[in-house]
């Protein structure tokens, strides 16, 4: 068990430039995690929040529990009433809505819709007069 004196001597101290090369892999790993995991998750959360804000009566939805129904009433910013079967309504939290299967079209409040209804000459007997008949208009 004879060791040469060269092996028994202490190694020289490392230089100070290794700090950057030691942190560089950690920074690269964080950047990869950010672009592959964190950023897409934030994007999905933003889209989901926008979808929940755009909910309206008549939208067909799926809850996180898998229940499919139609929104019958928007109660508040946090809850809606959903009809899951004919005559069966439940109140659920907006955050528990997983996806919207079918959107309803918003009611047109512009003058183009009124102009289309008046194409028949105003007598209610031609094209586009069905709504006037139902509402008792002339």
**For residues 123-134, average pLDDT:** 55
Longest dimension (CA), the chain: 118
Q: Would you tell me how many other CB atoms lie within 10 Å of the CB of residue 71? A: 21
| Residue 130 pLDDT grade (very low, low, confident, very high; cuts 50, 70, 90) | low
**For residues 118-131, average pLDDT:** 51
Q: Which one has a higher pLDDT value, 10 or 30? A: 30
pLDDT of residue 103: 83
pLDDT digits (tens, 9 = 90+) for 70-103: 999 999 889 999 999 999 999 999 999 999 998 8
pLDDT of residue 112: 46
**Cβ atoms 121, 132 nearer than 8 A:** no
pLDDT of residue 118: 47
pLDDT digits (tens, 9 = 90+) for 40-75: 999 999 999 999 998 899 999 999 999 999 999 999
pLDDT of residue 39: 93
pLDDT of residue 107: 63
Q: Locate tokens 């060269």: which residue?
A: 6
pLDDT of residue 104: 80
Instruction: Tell me the C-alpha distance between 9 and 81, whole Å.
Output: 79
């Amino acid at each position: 068990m004879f060791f040469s004196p060269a092996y028994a001597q202490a190694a020289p101290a490392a230089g100070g430039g290794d700090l950057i090369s030691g942190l560089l892999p950690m920074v690269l790993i964080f950047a990869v995690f950010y672009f592959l995991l964190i950023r897409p998750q934030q994007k999905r959360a933003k889209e989901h929040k926008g979808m929940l804000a755009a909910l309206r009566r008549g939208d067909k939805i799926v809850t996180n529990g898998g229940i499919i129904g139609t929104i019958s009433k928007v109660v508040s910013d946090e809850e809606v009433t959903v009809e899951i079967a004919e005559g069966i309504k439940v109140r659920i939290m907006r955050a528990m809505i997983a996806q919207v299967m079918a959107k309803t079209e918003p009611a047109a409040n512009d003058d183009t819709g009124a102009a289309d209804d008046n194409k028949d000459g105003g007598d209610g007997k031609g094209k586009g007069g069905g709504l006037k008949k139902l509402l008792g208009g002339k």
